[in-house]
Amino acid sequence: MKQWTVIFLFALSGVAVAQNDLGVLGCGELKNAFGPLDYRVTPQDTRDLVDNAHFTPSVESLIKGNTSVTAGPDIDYTLRAYPNHPRALLAMMNLSFKEKTTKPRGSHYSVECWFDRAERFRPDDGVVQMLYGIYLLKLGRTSEAVKKFEAAEATADGDPNLYYNLGLAYFDLKKYDRALDYAHKAYALNFPLPGLRDKLKRMHAWKDLPPPPQNSAPQNNDSQGVGSIQRVEKTQSDTLQNNNDSPHENP
């Protein structure tokens, strides 16, 4: 799974939280004139056929549409072609918060339907499950969010954003020990936002990790310094960044 440093969402105020009828009956068949294609493995030139026409920077930032006046129809087209397009899912989610509705203008389906379609299309896509979990967390459906995050964790490869959001969910459930465990995992991978740590401190539930145990075994005095190899973790270039402290910041 790709490591995304920060995911930001618009404020949730005023968004209806009623669940939809999901599956084929409520959210439609996946077949489409173009696609559906798996965004993770599709060659870049094929991705560009849709992204350059429908998922432009102005669409992704919800400023305006590219083939329509508003962004909704273009995001809709993108998700019908690529059901598991992570940035398009995030954009549709943000658009729903901006418009304070579960079904944005120009969208054939509700936000939850788009996640249902993405999961039906590629059940093994952990990024889809993580984003779905964030959406549910924002709606206050915390127990359901935890299930999505745990499903994502099964396919994750050390994703600090996932650990951070799972920690937030456990905090909301008042499971502070579990929240602390995932906070430690996120911050060990250099997650930059202090929100979860600050929440735990306010509840007097924060504990620093103990220092790693010292190796008491005799050290080789070799000139190559084989015993001290440092691993450097690089942040992937396709991280999503915005401007909130966390996707769910209740005190």
- For residues 111 and 239, what is the distance between their CA atoms, to the nearest angstrom? 22
Closest CA to 59 of 87, 27, 28, 29: 87
Q: Specify the pLDDT at position 101.
A: 96
Q: What angle do CA 50, 55, 57 make, to 5 degrees?
A: 140
- For residues 149 and 240, what is the distance between their CA atoms, to the nearest angstrom? 18
Q: Specify the pLDDT at position 160.
A: 95
Predicted confidence pLDDT, tens digits, the chain (251 residues): 444 444 544 434 445 444 457 888 899 999 999 999 999 999 999 999 999 999 999 999 999 999 999 999 999 999 999 999 999 999 999 999 999 999 999 999 999 999 999 999 999 999 999 999 999 999 999 999 999 999 999 987 789 999 999 999 999 999 999 999 999 999 999 999 999 999 999 999 999 987 767 765 544 444 333 332 222 233 333 333 333 444 554 43
Contact 211/179 with Cβ under 8 angstroms?
A: no
Q: Specify the pLDDT at position 228.
A: 27
Q: Specify the pLDDT at position 7.
A: 52
Q: Specify the pLDDT at position 158.
A: 85
> In a 10 Å sphere around its CB, with 0-12 CB exposed, 13-18 middle and 19+ buried, how is residue 71 labelled?
buried
Closest CA to 128 of 105, 111, 148, 110: 148
Tokens 């998700």 sit on residue: 79
Tokens 């899912």 sit on residue: 89
Contact 121/30 with Cβ under 8 angstroms?
A: yes
Contact 163/191 with Cβ under 8 angstroms?
A: yes
- For residues 142 and 247, what is the distance between their CA atoms, to the nearest angstrom? 12
CATH of range 23-202; options 1.25.40.10, 3.40.50.720, 3.30.499.10, 1.10.3720.10: 1.25.40.10
What pTM did the predictor assign? 0.77
Ramachandran region, residue 18 (left: φ > 0; alpha: ψ -120 to 50; beta: rest): beta
Contact 142/150 with Cβ under 8 angstroms?
A: no
